[in-house]
Amino acid sequence: MIVAGDFRNGVTFEMDGAVYSIIEFQHVKPGKGAAFVRTKLRNVITGAVTETTFNPSAKFPTAFVERKDMQYLYEDGGLYYFMDPETYEQVPINESTLGDNFKFVTENMICKVLSYKGNVFGVEPPNFVELRVTKTDPGFKGDTATNATKPATLETGAEIKVPLFIEEGDMIRIDTRTGLYMERA
């Protein structure tokens, strides 16, 4: 059990049959009246974000979300197959469960598969990946405006904005959380 007064960022707990993770919290002690805890919560299954206030003495059961490293193998008809590197067990995951940042994942990449009570609800790719640029327009001399970018297609099919000096065949590092170009690899 966790008491609302002990809430911290990243804590997961059960409430009303759903599992929530705390994004932000604030202990408020007004001049008049009782103290309360203001929170911003994310439903870990649906991804919905809500703001809720709690009495600091409210108690909730702690939820244990399992984060397991698994290797992405291949896609077949809307199912994406992941393998546990210890047991070699393969797990099919529906395309709707994958996040938008999965477009940066290549075959054989290690990802974190998130599950609660055996039900997979999400896949986290590595924070940074190195991918090859397969298609982009050439940069032109004189195109030196500050922070000028151009579109580029990566080996996974994802499109991002890159600086003008990047050419086809270059390996680049991408932050999968934001989808932004970081540097040449």
- CATH code assigned at 151: 2.40.50.140
Same domain, 113 and 135: no
End residue of a domain, out of 16, 34, 60: 60
Q: What is the pLDDT of residue 141?
A: 62
Same domain, 154 and 141: yes
Q: What is the pLDDT of residue 8?
A: 86
Q: What is the pLDDT of residue 143?
A: 58
End residue of a domain, out of 24, 43, 60: 60
Number of structural domains found in the chain: 3
Same domain, 119 and 166: no
Same domain, 78 and 28: no
pTM beyond 0.85:
no
Same domain, 78 and 55: no
Same domain, 19 and 56: yes
Same domain, 7 and 53: yes
- CATH code assigned at 39: 2.30.30.30
Q: What is the pLDDT along the chain (185 residues), one digit of tens a residue?
A: 889 888 888 788 998 888 888 888 999 898 888 899 999 998 887 778 899 999 999 999 988 888 899 999 999 988 999 999 999 999 998 887 787 788 899 999 999 988 888 888 788 889 899 999 999 988 766 656 667 888 999 999 999 999 888 889 999 999 988 888 988 87
End residue of a domain, out of 60, 79, 100: 60
Range of the structural domain that residue 22 is part of: 2-60
Q: What is the pLDDT of residue 81?
A: 93
Cβ neighbours of residue 82 under 8 Å, at least 6 residues apart? 70, 71, 72, 73, 90, 91, 92, 93, 111, 113, 123
Same domain, 74 and 117: yes
